[in-house]
Amino acid sequence: MTAFGVAEVVESNSSQYKKGDTVVGPTGWSEYAVLKASSLQPAKDLPGGKSKTQYLGALGMTGLTAYFGITEVVSATKDDIVVVSGAAGATGSMVVQIAKKLIGCKKVVGIAGTDDKCRWVEEIGADVCLNYKSSSFVEDLKKATPSPDGFANVYYDNVGGDILDLMLTRMAKGGRIAACGAISAYNTASERTAGLKNWFEVVSMRLNIKGFIVLDFQSKFSKALETFQKALADGKLDLEGSETVVRASFEDVPKTWLKLFDGSNQGKLITQIQ
C-alpha cells in the first residue's frame, strides 16, 4: 500500500545519501524499503527544532495541496472572503494560514467539528471558526457570511456533502470553489450519498467549481516549499498542534486511521511504527 514516510538510511549505494541520513519518500507501509535515491528528499532540520514529521504534512504534500488550491485553483487575493471546511484538518489548517498570513485575505472563516478545534483554528489565523455540529451552525454561517457584501468569494471544500450544499447559498456572484476532498462521503455507500439540493446556485450566481490533484502542480513544488521554509523562519506559519502522531504497530494501523472519520485527530494524522 502506498504511503510516504520519514525514514533513516541504514544502507546506501548512492553518493546522495549516506547511512544515518534522514529522508522523506514513498516508503510504503514497511519497516524497511529499497528505494531509488531519485525518489527521496533530504529531511533537513527545521527552525525551532520542529519535528521532521512535518515533512509529511504542513511542509509536504498536504501543505502543497493547500498552497496550490488556494493560490492557483481559486487564485485568492487580499480582497477575498474565504471559507474553509475541514479547517482543523491537515490541509484545511494550512489553507487558513496561507489565506490569512501569506495572502492577507480580508476575512477567513473556518469550519470544524468541535469547539476545541475551532479555538485552535482561530489561534492559527482564522477570523472566526464555526462548529458544524452546533445546533446554531446554519445561522452562525449566515452571520459569518452576511448577505450581500459578506458573501464568500472563495470556498475551499475538503468535505463535500451537506456543507458544500449549504455553502452554495453563501457564495458571492462569480465565487470560486476549490474541490479538494469529500471526506463526508468517503465511508458512505454510493446509493446513500445525497445530491446537492442547491445546485442551481451554481448557475444563478455564476459560480466556478474546479477539482484538482496536487500532482497537477508538480513542476512548482520546489518553489512552494521554499516559500514555506521562509514563512516558517519568519514566524508566519504556526505548526504547533498541526499533527497528531500515534505510535502503533502495523496490526493497529487500520484502527489508528479511523481517527480521520471520527474526528478525533487534529491536523495531519501520522503513524509512528513501533
C-alpha cell at 210: 474546479
Q: Which three cell numbers stand for residue 97?
A: 494560514
Same domain, 137 and 227: no
Do 136 and 161 belong together in one domain? yes
139-90-59-67 Cα dihedral, nearest 10 degrees = -40
Among 174, 191, 214, the domain boundary falls at 214
pLDDT at 153: 98
Residues of the chain with confidence (pLDDT) below 70: 1, 184-194
Burial class of residue 198, CB neighbours in 10 A (0-12, 13-18, 19+): middle
User: Does residue 79 share a domain with residue 98?
Assistant: yes
Amino acid symbol at 204: S
Grid coordinates standing for 30? 514497511
120 and 48 in one domain?
no
pLDDT of amino acid 247: 86
User: Same domain, yes or no, for 83 and 196?
Assistant: yes
Residues 105, 128 within the same domain: yes
Q: Into how many domains does the chain fold?
A: 2
- Other CB atoms within a 10 A radius of the CB of residue 252 amount to 14
Question: What whole-number distance in Å separates Cα of residue 200 and Cα of residue 197?
Answer: 8
CATH number of the domain at 105, please.
3.40.50.720
Residue 262 maps to which CATH number? 3.90.180.10
- Parent domain of 255: 5-59+220-273
Please list, in sequence order, all residues whose beta carbon lies within 8 angstroms of the beta carbon of residue 126, skipping any fewer than 6 positions away: 84, 87, 96, 100, 108, 109, 110
Same domain, 78 and 193: yes
Is residue 154 domain-shared with residue 99, that is, in the same domain? yes
Query: Three-state secondary structure along the chain?
Result: CCCCEEEECCCCCCCCCCCCCEEEECCCCCCCCCCCHHHCEECCCCHHHCCHHHHHCCCCHHHHHHHHHHHHHCCCCCCCEEEECCCCEHHHHHHHHHHHHHHCCCEEEEEECCHHHHHHHHHCCCCEEEECCCCCHHHHHHHHCCCCCCCEEEEEECCCHHHHHHHCCCEEEEEEEEECCCHHHCCCCHHHCCCCCCCHHHHHCCCEEEECCHHHHHHHHHHHHHHHHHHHHCCCCCCCCCEEEEEECHHHHHHHHCHHHHCCCCEEEEEEEC
